[in-house]
Amino acid sequence: MTRAAVPGLPSRHPIGEQLPAMYAEDDFAQRFTAGLDTVLAPVFATLDNLPSYFDPRLAPGDFLSWLATWVGGVDDPRWPLELRREAVAGAVELHRRRGTRRGLVDALRLILGVSAEVHGDGAATWSRTPGTPLPPPPAEEILVRVWPDRETTVDADRVRALVRTLCPVHTACRVEVLPGPPTHAEGDESHA
């Protein structure tokens, strides 16, 4: 990430214009300060545009990797710039949804470029009332079906690794890789 030596970038605050009047006609002083203007112009440009650096949709591409580390986002330099921006912008929302069907489906779409649906719930529940009985044990494992979306193929090993990291620890998850979107019977609401 470099913001120095941008050829032809003018300074919005030329030092030569701010010197006392006796140096206004001094050729050496003006050339010397012009050299400093060249060095400082990128600094002023960065400071003038600082809010844009913190917006992943506007930040310079080389700044996105660093910005991703701030929000625990995924940034793969091999991705197209717009996808990298989307990943950083959506990182906080993905963290908020972690451990949910929607969070898993969104992460698989964003990180691996696959579509997915999740069947099963892992028998998770909560209550404000002390002593509430525990839910029954889950009847089956959670089934995660994936198929190509943004990518043309599905790397099953990468999908399984991501599902292992994102599924709640108390659940058993199984991954099925499909060649295309599954067909659902009318009224099937199990996909996310």
> What is the rounded CA–CA span in Å between residue 68 and residue 74?
6
- Is this prediction's pTM over 0.75? no
The percent of the chain in helix, strand and coil, each rounded to the nearest 5, is 45, 10, 50
Amino acid making up residue 27: D
- Phi/psi for 10 (5° steps) reads -80, 150
Candidates 109, 56, 107, 58; CA nearest to 84 is 56
**What pLDDT score does 175 carry?**
93
Token pair, residue 82, equals 């717009």
Token pair, residue 100, equals 């949910």
> What is the rounded CA–CA span in Å between residue 177 and residue 60?
36
The residues, any chain, with a CB within 8 Å of residue 151's CB and separated by 6 or more, are: 112, 113, 114
Each of the 192 residues of the chain gets a pLDDT tens digit; together they read 555 556 778 888 888 888 998 888 899 999 999 888 888 888 888 888 889 989 999 998 888 999 999 988 888 888 889 989 998 998 989 989 888 889 999 999 988 889 999 988 766 677 889 988 877 776 678 899 999 988 788 999 999 999 988 887 778 889 999 988 887 654 444 444
Token pair, residue 93, equals 């929302």
**What pLDDT score does 188 carry?**
46
> What is the rounded CA–CA span in Å between residue 9 and residue 63?
20
**List of E strands, the chain:** 114-119, 142-148, 173-177
Amino acid making up residue 73: G
